[in-house]
Each structure stands twice: as C-alpha cells, then as structure tokens.
C-alpha cells in the first residue's frame, strides 16, 4: 500500500509540474502566435519563429542566440522592417519553446542548490502575477465593463502587446518582470550541467554588447562628420552630448556597458591566443560607456575592479604569468574611467553633480515614503510612476510631475512590497552564496570572476538608475545572472549528489506564502478599486468637448454608460440633452445608482435638461456608481476630426454638478 501511495504522489508531482509549465508556455505562445499571423514583414516573423523552433529542439543554442541578439532587438527590427523592437518577441519566443520542451520531457536532474534558487523565483513570480491581476482589476472601471474589459485585454495581448506598451501598464510591466525571471531560470538550468555553454553564453553577451557599443561610436562619428570642423566638433560633442544608439535610457546603457566591460576583463585575462581581441572589445566598451555619460556606471567600474583585485591577489594559484595581464586590463579600464569622469562631472548640458545627487535623494525619499505607506504588497507592478507625484516635494514636482524612482531596489520595494522584495533579495543572495566559494578559492576562475564582477557592477548602478525597466538591458542582466550559476558549479566541481538539499521548512514556508498571496487577492482587488480616484473613471462616454454653444459636454457612446460620484455628496445634478435629426419629440432613459433603478427621465429634443438626484446618506464605499441606460439612443457616430458639420445623433451629458453634504 505504501509503495503505491508513494508512486501516486510521484505521478501527481509530475502531472502538476507538466501542467504548470504547459500553462506558462501557453501564455508565452499567445503574443508570439498573434505576431506570426499578423501582417508584419515576413523577415521578422521568420526570425521569431526560428528562435522558438530552436528553443524547442536545442534550447542551449537558442540561449546563445538570444544572449547576443536581445540587446540588439531595436536594430534587428530595422533590418527586418518591423515596426517595433524585436527584443521582447525574441525573449517570449525562446521562453515559449523552452517551457514547451520542459513540460513534455523527463524531469531535468538539478542540483539541490539550483532547486533552492528556483524557490524564490516561483515565489516572486507569484507575487508579480498577483500584482498584475490586482492592477488590472483596479484599471477596469476606467476602461470598460468587466466582460468587455477582459475581451480588450485578451485582444491586446494577442495583437498589440509588442506594438503598444503604454496600454494596460500592470500587464506590460509585470510580464516584462516575469520574462526576466524566466530567462534567469532558463540560463541557470541550461548552464548548470555545461560549463562550456555557460562560458559561451557569457561570451555571446559581451559580443552583443560590443555590437551595441559599435553602433554608439558610429552615431558619434556620423554626427561629427556632418559638421565642417571635424576635430573641433569631436571635442565639443564629447563634452556636451550623451549617446545611446540602441537603448532609450542612456543611464541604462551605462549600466549595461559597465557590466559587459567587467565580464570582458575576466575573459580577456583567461584568454591566451586571442587576448588582443578581448583588449579591443574592452576598449570599445569603455568608449561606449564614456559616451553614455552615466556617472554611477563610470564609478561602478573602478569600485568593482578594486574589489575584484583584492579578492584575486588573495588567491595562491592561477596568478603565475598573469599578473602583468591583470594589471594591463585593469589599468586600461581605469584609464578609460579616469578620462570620462571629468566629462561626467563638468557636463555643461546636464545638471551639476550636486543637483543631480539632490534630485536622486529626493526621489529616494519619495520611494521610501511610498513603500512605507504600502509596506506589504506595494502599490502594484508598474504603478510607481503614476503615483509618484503624490509623494514628491513641491520643488521636485516642478521638475518631474511624475517619474520613476531612479533606484531599482527602492522601486521594486515600493511596487511589490515586502512580499516581493524579500524573494528578490533571496535570488540575489542565493546566487551570491553560490558563486562566493568560486571567487574566493585558492585558484582563480577568471570567467566566473568576470561574470560575477559584471553582476556586481550592474547592481551598483541601481542606486541611481532603473536599468531593469529597459527590456533590452534587463534581458541581458537576467541571462548573465543565471549564467553565474553554471559557472559557479563548474568552478567548484560539485556533483549534484553531494549537494545539500534545501531545508524542508523553507519549502513549506514558501508554499504557505504562495497560498497567502493567492487568497488575499480578492481583498487586495477590492482595496485597490476603493482607493482609486474613480471620479476620473468613466465607461461609455466620448472625450470632453464643447457643443455648438461652447458648453463642455460629452456624448454617451454605449447603450449603458457609467461614472462615479464622491460619497461626500448629498446630491447630483446631471445636464442631459437629446440630439435627433428626425425631430423625435422625446427619449426615455433610466438612471441607476449602485445597480438599483433610481430614476426614469424623458428628454426633450434640443434642450438641456437638468436631472436632480438625491443620493443616499450612507454609501457602500468612497463613491456612488451612477449608470445611465440610454438603449438605442447612444451616439453611433461621435464627433471626430472629419469636420464640424458631421451629423451626430444621441444623448450628451454636461459636467455633473455635486451638492455637498451639510457640515455637522
């Protein structure tokens, strides 16, 4: 009996794992299939479909391609004629293929340490997924009725996800974060059993960075050659402009080049026959880092380099014949940084360093205040920028009405709360614990040291930037972070059988936290809707605009329209007007209050009718929900830019007039 129960338990685990991975793969396939059946250029579809097929058959090779191409997605799309960057389509294509393969193959034998790293990944993914759901529920009253809203979200995810990133912010921001976690898990699992693949992925990441750097230098050369005086223009532009030819954020580009430069140093020192190639790549990366003008990235390189040197010279073995090479590579990096720092400090175009540091401090204080006000679950993934103005000082608000935290640590804490920030630190700490023996041992593993140093340099830049918000940069970081796992295992030469299994109580606690997060979602959704500024929310209305007399109004464009009234009002007056070309004498409409019929009104044609309503003394929440059922009288052709003489029939509503409750 007991063996039968054990076998049944094992079967259930296998089925649950396959079901979970297949579900995740299905989610990744949705926008990919939508792209493949769309009318975008065939070249782009072939590239995406090709990577998905390779990931399904040979995921290690697909990871290599992705490591080199992902940062260049904004350039690949131009070569393919695509209307948007190919970075995220490539990432999702890889994840869709890899997850599909993992779901329907025998379970991969992973070390206990790697399994332990996947625990916080699952926990953090659950937190982000719950935050996406809560954010969408809070967004629904501003967009459409629930059924139509769900249809709009699914349609967006199928056809417009890559093309319009501003719609449904919780979904787009959350999925970007989840894609990063998926890349980390894939890189850690695929490289754990193959040190050669881990090193190849790291090299390909540096190769992609070299390509991005070359494009930055090409941008500078192009600008300089267009001027008459080449040398004077070169001197002027080096002192005044910041260049990032591929990424939209120059500071994120600086973080990316700092990470890649440290990785290149590690591989350059380890190389023997092609060291001159790594020297050229390092020069290219340092020049590109200089052009970004990112102060924190420029300082991160010497800080990380100094820390690595201290660790290196503590080692007893592996330094013979390499001391001169080490000094040469590090000196090259320091010379580049030393030449760039005066430019960064005295940049006449940007704010002074003192002012920049003051702004970062004010942003950090605002992020800390936001996190303190929403400590457990945060404000929701992707919600920092929208709510940031409420926490800014008046002086900072004049400069930035809304802005990101310019500190990735604080932004994650403010958006995901403690339940998200702790597993995030758990991932970083787990990787650090995994690589620590490899970088502090008697023998120096230069590729591991370079990759670990690159991750540290990237993390240092987080105190003054948010590179994880740039998809191209975050993809590279998560791949490099996962590669650390494979390189560390190769450096330690530990077999999976000698690994200590993760503590059982830790796994049980993680399961309990996942259940807690899922069970609290309904209460969080209700709280998010109640806390939203629903006065600005409406469904079934056109945009505001003047009528023929200049009165501010908007058309009802759906059979049933909805808006909200604050609970501190005792009454509301609704200006309504029927517009009909056939001179219909009147139309009957119904008005509902919190779902209950409150009034039936007959509207005369052409004249404004003011409908007065007394609101209940006690509201169910901070707002009353008002719905207007106009039936077939909704405007089928609301005003557009076609011309002022366009005929429109339907019902207009002016601005509601509120009657405040008397003071007690």
- Of 242 and 647, more confident: 242
Predicted confidence band of residue 66 (pLDDT cuts 50, 70, 90): very high
- Of 281 and 227, more confident: 281
Q: How far apart, in whole angstroms, are the C-alpha atoms of residue 393 and residue 383?
A: 19
pLDDT at residue 346, rounded to an integer: 42
Q: What is the mean pLDDT of the chain?
A: 84
Three-state DSSP state, 552:
strand
Q: Which two tokens stand for residue 156?
A: 């967006």
Residue 1 has pLDDT above 80, yes or no: no
- Of 27 and 606, more confident: 27
Predicted confidence band of residue 378 (pLDDT cuts 50, 70, 90): very high
- DSSP states of 370-393: HHHHSTTT-S-TT-HHHHGGGGS-
Element (H, E) at 596: strand 596-604
- The tens digit of pLDDT for each residue in 117-136 reads 888 999 999 999 999 999 99
Residue 349 has pLDDT above 70, yes or no: no
Residue 502 has pLDDT above 80, yes or no: no
- Of 638 and 197, more confident: 197
Q: Are 591 and 627 in contact (CB under 8 A)?
A: yes
- The tens digit of pLDDT for each residue in 451-464 reads 999 999 999 999 98
Q: How far apart, in whole angstroms, are the C-alpha atoms of residue 73 and residue 162?
A: 12
Residue 641 has pLDDT above 70, yes or no: no
- The tens digit of pLDDT for each residue in 72-113 reads 998 888 888 888 899 999 999 999 999 999 988 776 667 777
Residue 496 has pLDDT above 50, yes or no: no
Predicted confidence band of residue 499 (pLDDT cuts 50, 70, 90): low
Mean per-residue pLDDT for 239-251?
83
Q: How far apart, in whole angstroms, are the C-alpha atoms of residue 266 and residue 483?
A: 14
- Output the pTM of the full model: 0.89
Residue 312 has pLDDT above 70, yes or no: no
- The tens digit of pLDDT for each residue in 204-232 reads 999 999 999 999 988 888 877 777 677 77
Residue 645 has pLDDT above 60, yes or no: no
Lowest mean pLDDT among 481-485, 486-490, 634-638: 634-638
């Amino acid at each position: 009996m007991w063996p039968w129960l054990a076998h049944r338990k094992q079967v259930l685990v296998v089925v649950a794992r396959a079901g979970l991975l297949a579900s995740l793969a299905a989610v990744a396939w949705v926008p990919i299939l939508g792209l493949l059946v769309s009318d975008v250029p065939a070249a782009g579809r072939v590239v995406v479909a090709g990577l998905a097929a390779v990931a399904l058959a040979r995921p290690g090779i697909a990871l290599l391609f992705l490591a080199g191409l992902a940062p260049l997605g904004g350039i690949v799309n131009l070569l393919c004629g695509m209307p948007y960057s190919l970075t995220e389509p490539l990432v999702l294509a890889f994840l869709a293929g890899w997850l599909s393969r993992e779901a329907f193959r025998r379970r991969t034998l992973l070390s206990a340490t790697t399994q332990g790293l996947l625990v916080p990944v699952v926990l953090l993914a659950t937190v982000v997924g719950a935050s996406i759901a809560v954010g969408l529920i809070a967004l629904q009253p501003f967009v459409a009725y629930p059924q139509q809203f769900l249809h709009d979200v699914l349609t967006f995810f199928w056809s417009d996800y890559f093309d319009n990133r501003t719609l449904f912010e919780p979904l787009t921001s959350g999925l970007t974060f989840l894609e990063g976690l998926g890349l980390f898990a894939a890189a850690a699992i695929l490289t754990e059993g193959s040190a050669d693949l881990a090193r190849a992925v790291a090299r390909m990441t540096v190769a992609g960075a070299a390509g991005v750097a070359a494009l930055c230098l090409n941008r500078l050369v192009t600008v300089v050659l267009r001027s008459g005086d080449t040398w004077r223009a070169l001197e002027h532009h080096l002192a005044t402009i910041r260049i990032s030819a591929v990424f939209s954020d120059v500071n994120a580009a600086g973080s990316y080049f700092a990470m890649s430069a440290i990785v290149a140093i590690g591989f350059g020192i380890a190389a023997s026959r092609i060291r001159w190639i790594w020297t050229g790549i390092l020069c290219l990366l340092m020049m590109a880092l200089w052009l970004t003008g990112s102060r924190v990235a420029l300082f991160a390189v010497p800080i990380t380099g100094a820390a690595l040197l201290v660790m290196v010279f503590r080692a007893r073995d592996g330094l013979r014949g390499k001391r001169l090479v080490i000094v040469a590579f590090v000196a090259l990096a320091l010379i580049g940084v030393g030449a760039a720092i005066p430019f960064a400090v005295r940049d006449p175009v940007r704010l002074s360093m003192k002012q920049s540091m003051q702004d970062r401090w004010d942003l950090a204080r605002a992020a800390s205040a936001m996190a303190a006000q929403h400590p457990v679950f945060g404000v929701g993934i992707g919600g920092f920028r929208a709510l940031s103005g409420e926490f800014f000082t008046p002086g900072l608000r004049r400069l930035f009405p809304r802005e990101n935290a310019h500190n990735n640590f604080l932004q994650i804490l403010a958006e995901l709360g403690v339940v998200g920030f702790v597993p995030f630190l758990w991932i970083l700490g787990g990787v650090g614990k995994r690589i620590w023996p490899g970088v502090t041992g008697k023998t120096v593993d230069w590729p591991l040291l370079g990759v670990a140093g690159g991750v540290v340099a990237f993390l240092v830049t987080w105190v003054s930037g948010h590179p994880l918000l740039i998809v191209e940069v975050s993809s590279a970081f998560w791949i490099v972070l996962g590669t650390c796992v494979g390189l560390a295992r190769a450096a330690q030469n530990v077999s999976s059988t000698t690994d200590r299994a993760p503590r059982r109580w830790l796994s049980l606690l993680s399961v309990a936290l996942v259940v807690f997060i899922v069970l609290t979602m309904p209460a969080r959704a209700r709280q998010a809707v109640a806390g939203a500024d629903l006065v600005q929310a409406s469904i079934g209305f056109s945009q505001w605009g003047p009528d023929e007399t200049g009165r501010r109004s908007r058309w009802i464009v759906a059979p049933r329209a909805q808006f909200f009234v604050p609970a501190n009002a005792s009454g509301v007056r609704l200006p309504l007007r029927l517009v009909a070309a056939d001179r219909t004498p009147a139309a009957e409409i119904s008005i509902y209050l919190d779902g209950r019929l409150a009034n039936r009104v007959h509207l005369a044609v052409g004249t404004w009718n003011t409908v007065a309503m007394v609101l209940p003394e006690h509201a169910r929440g901070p707002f009353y929900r008002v719905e207007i059922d106009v039936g077939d009288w909704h405007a089928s052709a609301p005003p557009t830019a076609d011309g002022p003489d366009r005929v429109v029939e339907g019902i207009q509503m002016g601005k509601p007039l509120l009657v405040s409750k008397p003071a007690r």
